[in-house]
Structure 1
Amino acid sequence: MYKVGQVVVGKISGIQPYGAFVVIDDNTTGLIHISEMSDYYVKDIGLYVQLNDQVYLKVLEVSEDGRQLKLSLKAVYQRPLRRFRARELNQRLPQSNLGFKSLAQKLPEWITQWKGKYHD
């Protein structure tokens, strides 16, 4: 049985405009609502997770039967990400099959574009 606040590992099994479905084990599934992907506006969930990614997630809520979980990606990844400067991201983040791997690879490019667009 899972508990609120526990960190679990799951596999992304489906992506919808409102969130991503996750398989935790044979009897337990969960949903990461789009609002739990990041502290920032999420336009494209595919930038954060992709089908079959293994991700670490924090349990926010457990159903009465314990088979369905409400999960958060931002509770696990967002806070540490703020400590890194863009040029350090690729050196410090683990190169594994985590859900935010694609985000970590694209973030330096986005920051450069943002600086060019708003800080001329």
Structure 2
Amino acid sequence: MRYRIGMIIEGRITGIQPYGAFVSLDNRTQGLIHISECHHGYVDNIRNFLKVGQMVRVMIIDIDEYTGKISLSIRCLEKAFDFSREKRRPGFNHRKYWTNKHVQEGFKPISKRMSKWINEALEDIEKKKKKLLTRY
């Protein structure tokens, strides 16, 4: 079977390390589920989610064309956590974030300072040139 990115296949966990789990896809092919790809959210210990010998359904998310290493993900197949349905505490329903949508500045502050920055950079270059020339 020729493996391709995006394929969803089943495999058996053959080994677990702190950084991820090795999955046998067939008799000759193995892939790795990195700890960050085993579950949505923070995973403290991968052994809390996966066990050696367990059958898992995984998605191929990357294949290194030079080494042939296959990166797998269970997280891609999980339903993402819906933050909009999260129960909120009373009084904390409206979070305020600062935005600059009413400020009509754009790139003006940068353009005002650009010539000064260019001059400072040119001066630094000249100082470095002089230092190099005085060394030799």
**TM-score interval (norm. to shorter):** 0.5 to 0.7
Aligned length: 81
Q: 1:38 maps to what in 2?
A: 39
Distance 2:63 2:17 in 1: 21
> Any unmatched runs of 5+ in structure 1?
84-120
Aligned residue type for 2:34: H
Q: Which runs of 4+ in 1 moved over 6 A?
A: none
Tell me the secondary structure at the aligned position of residue 27 of structure 1.
Answer: coil
Structure 2 length normalisation: TM-score?
A: 0.54
- Partner residue in 2 for 1:50: 51
Determine which structure has more spread, i.e. the larger CA radius of gyration.
2
Q: Which has the higher contact order (CA 8 A, sep 6+)?
A: 1
In structure 2, runs of 5+ residues without a counterpart are 83-136
TM-score, normalization by structure 1: 0.61
Compute the RMSD of aligned alpha carbons. Answer: 1.9
| Alignment pair present for 1:72 and 2:103 | no
Deviations 1:52-109 (A, max 9, x none): 0000000011132785310001111x217x58xxxxxxxxxxxxxxxxxxxxxxxxxx
Task: Name the structure with the higher strand share.
Answer: 1
Q: Percent identity?
A: 36
